[in-house]
Copies of this chain bind each other. A is one copy, B any other.
Amino acid sequence: MPPARHDRHSVIACALRLLDEVGLPDLSMRRLSTELDVQPSALYWHFPNKQALLAGVADRILEAVPEPDSSAAPADVAHAIRDALLTYRDGAEVVMSSYALRLGAARAQRALAASLAPVSPVQEDAARTPLADAVFEFILGHATLLQQRMHAQSIGAVEADAEDPAALATEVFESGIRAMTGLRAVRPPA
């Protein structure tokens, strides 16, 4: 039987599926290689190291975020990013570790910056701004903590909140986003 054949795309797809099934702590190169019916060392033909593979996974997770659009409401863009991060187990932590290397999040960041920029139709593709970066950092921190908490609860490591934890988290998210983007919902005076 010839060895299995793969490319970067199929490896990333498998890694994303495995991430969602077992979580980031159990997503090892060895486990992934078993899933792909391949020796661990085979993965290093496709990626220089695990970090690079995770950057590819992060990219895929954020592909669900709409293209930059200066007419989009900042709060909607923020929600789209949060939803994308929460779609896969530990998705936020994966994106966070890759974002530190400035990988995988460029599109999401530009989408935020565009929605937050003072509206001027000429420059559709706004550069990063301090506030847009801050909003993105808030979303990443929030979603990462939420997912870690969800895992801790499933393990029983922490007692569940009295109220629905997802609902509580959403309330926290809303109040943060409202504070950070609320002012920009109204076009600033010229």
* Count of residues in A whose CB is under 8 Å from the partner chain: 35
Chain A 144-169, CB-CB to B under 8 Å as 1, else 0, gives: 11001101100001100000000000
Q: A97–B148 contact, CB under 8 A?
A: yes
Q: B137–A100 contact, CB under 8 A?
A: no
* Cβ–Cβ < 8 Å partners of A145 in chain B: 96, 99-100, 137, 140
Binds B, one of A1-9, A13-21, A128-136: A128-136
* Cβ–Cβ < 8 Å partners of A157 in chain B: 101
Compute how far the CA of A137 lies from the CA of B82 in the bound complex, rounded to whole angstroms. Answer: 14
Asked, given contacts A101-B152, A145-B99, A158-B101, whether A175 binds B137 with beta carbons under 8 Å apart, the answer is: no
Compute how far the CA of A140 lies from the CA of B144 in the bound complex, rounded to whole angstroms. Answer: 10
* Cβ–Cβ < 8 Å partners of A101 in chain B: 149, 152, 157-158
Compute how far the CA of A176 lies from the CA of B112 in the bound complex, rounded to whole angstroms. Answer: 14
Whether A37 is near chain B, meaning CB under 8 Å from some CB there, is no
Q: B138–A134 contact, CB under 8 A?
A: yes
Q: B141–A172 contact, CB under 8 A?
A: no
Whether A63 is near chain B, meaning CB under 8 Å from some CB there, is no
* Cβ–Cβ < 8 Å partners of A183 in chain B: 179
Whether A187 is near chain B, meaning CB under 8 Å from some CB there, is no
A149 to chain B, nearest CB (A): 5
Q: Which residue of B lies closest to A155 (CB)?
A: B101
Compute how far the CA of A134 lies from the CA of B172 in the bound complex, rounded to whole angstroms. Answer: 6
Whether A88 is near chain B, meaning CB under 8 Å from some CB there, is no
Q: Which residue of B lies closest to A97 (CB)?
A: B148
Partner of A96, one of B139, B144, B176: B144
* Cβ–Cβ < 8 Å partners of A171 in chain B: 130
* Cβ–Cβ < 8 Å partners of A152 in chain B: 100-101
Whether A174 is near chain B, meaning CB under 8 Å from some CB there, is yes
5 A-B residue pairs with CB within 8 Å: A96-B141, A101-B152, A130-B175, A137-B142, A179-B181
